[in-house]
């Protein structure tokens, strides 16, 4: 076999030292003597025996490893939990996590402040609406209707059912209805 230096642009793939092509094997078989062949066969048998022994030793060690872990209470689930816990701590200590956490915290505070301001504005608007003349007029009508119903239903000589009292009160109330809408502002009424 000739030795040559592989360049970066060579298209021929690199081969392992023990990797042979069919022509190499045929060539070495025809040149090899019977004695060399027996020697190689013997070495191959020894290597296979060693591999078999190592596999048995490894299986025995793995079994003992499992027994010790079981005695110590180390389980796969416990290891997984530990790995996840370590991973979570590592992630929390990362710069990206800290930045993201700070950004989300800031966004949450700003959102809370905006919602608080919105709630205050809505509360103020309802207060303003409640103090408007239209709402007061509507509130007075509802109070008088409820009061009429209570007196008519509650009096012993009133007679009639609740539905009769309710419909008569509604008729009386509709005759006293103001001519402006609840949404009218004081400026539009003038």
Between CA 189 and CA 134 the distance in angstroms is 10
Q: What is the pLDDT of residue 152?
A: 75
pLDDT tier, 176 (very low <50, low <70, confident <90, very high otherwise) = low
Q: What is the pLDDT of residue 55?
A: 97
Contact between 149 and 166 (Cβ < 8 Å)? yes
Q: What is the pLDDT of residue 11?
A: 53
| DSSP code for 94 | S
pLDDT tier, 159 (very low <50, low <70, confident <90, very high otherwise) = low
Q: Taking 70 as the threshold, does the pLDDT of residue 141 lie above it?
A: yes
Q: Taking 80 as the threshold, does the pLDDT of residue 137 lie above it?
A: yes
Q: What is the mean pLDDT of residues 104-133?
A: 88
Higher pLDDT, 171 or 31: 31
Higher pLDDT, 63 or 172: 63
Q: What is the pLDDT of residue 177?
A: 54
Displacement of CA 134 from its chain's centroid (Å): 50
Task: Please state whether 15 falls in left (phi above 0), alpha (psi between -120 and 50) or beta.
Answer: beta
Q: Taking 50 as the threshold, does the pLDDT of residue 31 lie above it?
A: yes
Which pTM does this prediction carry? 0.31
Higher pLDDT, 7 or 94: 94
Q: What is the pLDDT of residue 2?
A: 44
Higher pLDDT, 167 or 111: 111
Q: What is the mean pLDDT of residues 115-130?
A: 87
Displacement of CA 156 from its chain's centroid (Å): 65
């Amino acid at each position: 076999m000739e030795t040559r230096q592989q360049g970066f642009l060579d298209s021929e793939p690199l081969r392992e030292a023990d990797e042979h092509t069919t022509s190499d094997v045929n060539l070495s078989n025809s040149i090899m003597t019977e004695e060399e062949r027996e020697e190689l066969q013997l070495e191959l048998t020894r290597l296979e025996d060693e591999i078999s022994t190592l596999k048995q030793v490894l299986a025995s060690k793995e079994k003992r490893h499992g027994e010790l872990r079981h005695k110590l209470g180390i389980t796969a689930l416990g290891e997984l939990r530990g790995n996840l816990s370590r991973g979570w701590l590592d992630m929390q200590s990362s710069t990206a996590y800290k930045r993201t956490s700070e950004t989300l915290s800031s966004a949450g505070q700003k959102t809370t402040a905006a919602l608080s301001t919105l709630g205050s504005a809505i509360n103020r608007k309802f207060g303003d609406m409640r103090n408007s003349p239209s709402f007061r007029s509507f509130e007075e009508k509802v109070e008088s209707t409820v009061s009429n119903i209570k007196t008519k239903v509650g009096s012993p000589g009133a007679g009639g059912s609740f539905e009769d009292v309710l419909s008569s009160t509604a008729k009386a109330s509709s005759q006293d209805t103001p001519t402006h809408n609840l949404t009218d502002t004081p400026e539009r009424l003038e």
